[in-house]
């Protein structure tokens, strides 16, 4: 069974600084998707970034980028130029592409990020 581990329950960063959130996962599959989702207080969860495991190039979306290390099963999220609106819970998630679990997201426990002015 796949597992996702986020070892940082809470983090804080000053506005305009850079912060990195850590995530490790465990799977025996070779191809899969990895995601970072953001859940602002009292609002719905939204996709931040997606990485396809067969792609070696790290995904980037504006101020958000990932460091995907497939052999180490590590998938960290870097937020550059942090903004107050980045304050939220961030969840790392794994998606299997095969079998009965296809399409299901397996989430870590989340990291609560606070951006301070």
Partner 1 sequence: EAEVAQSPRYKITEKSQAVAFWCDPISGHATLYWYRQILGQGPELLVQFQDESVVDDSQLPKDRFSAERLKGVDSTLKIQPAELGDSAMYLCASSRLVTGELFFGEGSRLTVL
Binding to partner 1 by residue 41, rule CB under 8 A?
Answer: no
Question: Which of these segments, 11-19, 42-50, 61-69, 79-87, binds partner 1 (CB under 8 A)?
Answer: 42-50
**103 belongs to the binding site for partner 1 (CB under 8 A):** yes
Beta bridge mates, 11: 113
Q: For residues 110 and 5, what is the distance between their CA atoms, to the nearest angstrom?
A: 9
91 near partner 1, rule: CB under 8 A: yes
Asked if 76 interacts with partner 1 (CB under 8 A), we say no
Round to whole Å and give the CA distance between 103 and 117. Answer: 38
Q: How far apart are CB 102 and partner 1 at their closest, in Å?
A: 6
User: Taking the mean position of all CA atoms in its chain, how far away is CA 49?
Assistant: 7
Helix (H) or strand (E) holding 33: strand 32-39
By CB under 8 A, residue 105 contacts partner 1: yes
Instruction: State which residue, 19 or 108, has the beta carbon closest to partner 1.
Output: 108
Show the tokens assigned to 80.
């550059």
Counting other chains too, the contacts that 58-65 makes at CB distance below 8 Å and 24 or more residues apart are: 64/36
Of 14 and 54, the one with the shorter C-beta distance to partner 1 is 54
Which residues of the chain form contacts with partner 1 (CB under 8 A)?
4, 33, 37, 42-47, 50, 91, 93, 95, 97, 100-110
């Amino acid at each position: 069974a796949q597992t996702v581990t986020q070892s940082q329950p809470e983090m804080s960063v000053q506005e305009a600084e850079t912060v990195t959130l850590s995530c490790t996962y465990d799977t025996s599959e070779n191809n899969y998707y990895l995601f970072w989702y953001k859940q602002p207080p009292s609002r719905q969860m939204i996709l931040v970034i997606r990485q396809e495991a067969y792609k070696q190039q790290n995904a980037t979306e504006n101020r958000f980028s990932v460091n995907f290390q497939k052999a180490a099963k590590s998938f960290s999220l870097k937020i550059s130029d942090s903004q107050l609106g980045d304050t939220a819970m961030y969840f790392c998630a794994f998606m299997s592409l095969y079998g009965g679990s296809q399409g299901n997201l397996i989430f870590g426990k989340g990291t609560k990020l606070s951006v301070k002015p």
